[in-house]
Structure 1
Amino acid sequence: MRERKLQPPKGPLQGKIEVPGDKSISHRSVMFGSLAHGTTHVQHFLGSEDCLRTLTIFQAMGVKIEQKGSSLTIFGKGPEALKEPLEPLYFGNSGTTARLMLGILAGLPMFTTLHGDISLTKRPMNRVVEPLRLMGAQIDGRDHGNYLPLAIRGQTMKGIRYELPVKSAQVKSAILLAGLFAEGETTVTESTSTRNHTETMLEAFGAELHINGTAVSLKGNQTLTATDIYVPGDISSAAFFLVAAAIVPGSSLKLLNVGLNETRTGIIDVLLEMGADIQIENERQKGGERIGNITITYRELKAVTIEGEIIPRLIDEIPIIALLATQAEGTTVIKDARELRVKETDRIRAVTETLTRLGANIKETKDGFIICGKTKLVGNRVESYHDHRMGMLAAVASLITTTEVTIDDITPIATSYPSFFKDLEQII
């Protein structure tokens, strides 16, 4: 554990930051590059603990991957060249690695066992395991395969038509990845569109997809061909600095080369609705993903209600949005976010406890929050809850507290943003 004490800054935040590569896309670049035939080059890869778990797992299955800084070269020889790992595969704290790899491993002709750290071991896997079993997967583990550790006996799968009962890009992606190796066609239908990085990357690697509204279909036994991938800046990481500039009076920040995929930009929509001053420049397409520079300048904010279809587009940003709401005039209500209960920690409970300790007027509900602002925040000792986003939330909150904030353990932040404090210090 690494404790960190943070003093409030003496003035506004100013400067430019290029946030690290997108975590979701970095994971998928390794997966698809390893499953493809040929050499894939990846630029701006996020070298965080979570993404490195995915990288080392494919190395354990015989894939040659060279890393130089934030660049990867992946020498793919197709799924048929993957070897059965000699040891259990360790996913650390990475839910993305765990759930997407279930889809891949279920259709490969090998036996694998999977485990993770204490936090990941508490996160439910049945939302992925159940549809994979419908496709013919043999998966067993604790609580009938609901929790890690899990054991998979890979075999030939059959395509299915599946309507997602939860709004989860991880579940959708796991089923599509399994469908890539299955006989026949696989179709996944969502009630609300979630992030589409898997679909975008499947097409980039040459797979044929059919997208009809919120339904995605692909035929099995397709061959992927290597390509070059540029990983845009992670908007989930950028969100912490967008909120920081929005709540520290006089601030103005520019964030460079941030991913602007429309399934991920809910945080920008909310900031604009609350009255934030945001400008987006140099928008362009790179590697199938939209990117651009975001400039945010401090301005007084007003409360809003956040619910419904926008929730999947900002689910990971809700903790930092809750902090934002403490500095908006009026009562902000966040609904339909029950999914936060099964993240790295119960984020509804953790956010409520953290912001309450810092003096916020916040009430927990079954699927979100009621937050009354504008509230002056005070310093205190808070937990990170072994959750990277909770650690960064506390750090951003310290920018407006009256006294020092102490975070009990900042090590989880490295799972998604190893350079977070370095970037924070350069704009204070």
Structure 2
Amino acid sequence: MGNLKLHPTKLKGKVTIPPSKSMAHRAVICAALGDGVSKIENIDYSDDIIATINAMVSLGAKITKNEDHLEIIGLKSEQGQKNIEYQRVIDCNESGSTLRFLVPIAALFEGCNRFIGRGNLGKRPLDTYYDIFDKQDIKYCYSKDTLDLNTEGKLKPGEFELKGNISSQFITGLLFALPLLDGDSKIIITTELESKGYIDLTLSAMRDFGIEIINNDYKSFEIMGNQTYKSRNYRVEGDYSQAAFFLVGDVLSNNIIIDGLKLDSLQGDKEVIDILERMGMKLIKYSDGILGKTDRNLKSTIIDASQCPDIIPVISLAASLSEGTTEIINAGRLRIKECDRLTAVRSELNKLGANITEKEDGLIINGVKKLKGGTNVWSHKDHRIAMTLAIASTVCEEPIILEDYECVSKSYPKFFDDFKVLGGKFDEWNVGK
């Protein structure tokens, strides 16, 4: 992969945030399970979204990719493919959402499913589903540390007990699948539920496509069977997890108006606004977007990562340049993302001059006055680490060399195009030459 030499330059201008990856996954799945033709507008063809599109095609949906929208003929429509292949290969690439959403969905159909993927995806635990398979006599086998999961057997309605401190992706996967079974089901959450915001997104998308779920204060979910996903036209809202990079850029003395966000969004990563406001940001709302400003130094705070893990890398950058000591807690799940994000944040930001100590499930960040730069940093082939380091370059005293920057294609393929339009300066750099 390639490397970029990023020169310290302030960013200024307006950026339109790409569509929410979380909502796009959900919209594609709901439409593909639908009873007719749906049009999904405002789609960004990131690697993860392409993985979900291809996965639903492998289950029989017909999906046409246009420049800015998808046309999806649902599985339950007269035009949809009624006889899918008995043996199916579902390539999840590096998308944890695709994998965990599709495992129970694929079990709606007769036949065998083989799930494959790349990167660290095989290291992400699936024990929650294995427990269900054991109870329902669904056959499965898998390889350790490499994603090669084979399943055979159909999911049956019933009661499903899940811990609340596991990834919400397991709960979402079941929520998608259970309404299509021929009996009623119930999901019982046995501990406090983390990542409630992602469950809200799932329930919202399913409601938009005609599926009703009873949410008993996140302690249990009642799902009637024999429901139908109703096809419709749908527009994907802007992504707060991507906006977080530019909001942090704003509070670090850049000047970026951020457009395309839904201010009453249910996205859990909208928490970035609350966190930055606690640290001293004032949110200014314009007719064409929002801007984060500070009139004094940022101050430290305690950040609970359980509801918003994806924004923690870039929030750690803001905390590194804040007064006092910031503690990030309940962040253990960041260790099983595209990389170990706690180690990556500590390692790479410390190279630039930050003062971060790593804990088992969090970070202790002692604020410093400046970042020096003048060194090589590595994305760990993780899109959120790469984008965090790009924003960090705008407040370094010297240029930095970012290794393996192309991984931004996983969620935000045009990130460096937008970065350049805003005034960011970089060039290709061959390390060691």
TM-score normalized by the length of structure 1: 0.90
Which residue of 1 is the match for residue 414 of structure 2? Answer: 419
Kept after mapping to 2: 8 A contact 1:253/1:297: no
* Change in CA separation of 1:134 and 1:369 when aligned onto 2, cut-off 3 Å: same
Count of matched residue positions in the alignment of Structure 1 and Structure 2 = 410
Which residue of 1 is the match for residue 96 of structure 2? Answer: 95
Shift of 1:191: 1.5
Kept after mapping to 2: 8 A contact 1:134/1:160: no
Kept after mapping to 1: 8 A contact 2:352/2:371: yes
Shift of 1:366: 0.8
Name the SS for the 2:74 alignment partner.
strand
- Of 196, 202, 206, which aligns to 1:198? 202
Map 1:68-83 onto structure 2 (within 5 A). 68-78=66-76, 81=82, 83=84
Name the SS for the 1:77 alignment partner.
coil
Shift of 1:362: 0.6
* Change in CA separation of 1:162 and 1:231 when aligned onto 2, cut-off 3 Å: same
Amino acid of the structure 2 residue aligned with 1:205: F
Amino acid of the structure 1 residue aligned with 2:205: M
Q: Which runs of 5+ in 2 are unaligned?
A: 424-433
Which residue of 2 is the match for residue 244 of structure 1? Answer: 249
Which residue of 2 is the match for residue 324 of structure 1? Answer: 318
Which residue of 2 is the match for residue 285 of structure 1? Answer: none
Kept after mapping to 1: 8 A contact 2:160/2:187: yes
Amino acid of the structure 1 residue aligned with 2:23: I
Q: Which moved further from structure 2: 187-196 or 172-181?
A: 187-196
Amino acid of the structure 2 residue aligned with 1:306: I
Shift of 1:198: 1.3
Shift of 1:221: 2.7
Kept after mapping to 2: 8 A contact 1:164/1:172: no
Q: Higher RCO, 1 or 2 (CA under 8 Å, sep at least 6)?
A: 2
Quick one: distance in 2 between partners of 1:269 and 1:118?
A: 33
**Deviations, residues 58-82 of structure 1 (Å, cap 9, x unaligned):** 2233322112112111011329836
- Of 271, 274, 277, which aligns to 2:282? 277
Name the SS for the 2:222 alignment partner.
strand
Shift of 1:128: 3.7
Shift of 1:417: 0.1
**Deviations, residues 241-282 of structure 1 (Å, cap 9, x unaligned):** 11111112xx33221121432533211110000011213466
* Change in CA separation of 1:44 and 1:320 when aligned onto 2, cut-off 3 Å: same
* Change in CA separation of 1:74 and 1:349 when aligned onto 2, cut-off 3 Å: same
Name the SS for the 1:220 alignment partner.
coil
Shift of 1:159: 2.2
Shift of 1:165: 4.0
* Change in CA separation of 1:134 and 1:243 when aligned onto 2, cut-off 3 Å: farther
Name the SS for the 1:371 alignment partner.
strand
- Of 35, 39, 47, which aligns to 1:49? 47
Among the aligned pairs, what percent are the same residue? 30
**Deviations, residues 366-419 of structure 1 (Å, cap 9, x unaligned):** 111111113321221111112111111111111111111111101211010000
Map 1:25-424 onto structure 2 (within 5 A). 25-78=23-76, 81=82, 83-84=84-85, 88-131=89-132, 133-143=134-144, 148-182=147-181, 183-189=183-189, 191-192=192-193, 193-195=196-198, 196-214=200-218, 215-248=220-253, 251-259=254-262, 260-261=265-266, 263-280=268-285, 293-299=289-295, 300-307=297-304, 311-379=305-373, 380-424=375-419
RMSD: 2.1
Quick one: distance in 2 between partners of 1:211 and 1:269?
A: 25
Quick one: distance in 2 between partners of 1:256 and 1:359?
A: 32
Question: Is 1:4 matched with 2:8?
Answer: no
**Deviations, residues 273-294 of structure 1 (Å, cap 9, x unaligned):** 0011213466xxxxxxxxx942
Name the SS for the 2:269 alignment partner.
coil
Q: Which runs of 5+ in 1 are unaligned?
A: 283-291
Quick one: distance in 2 between partners of 1:187 and 1:125?
A: 17
Shift of 1:32: 1.1
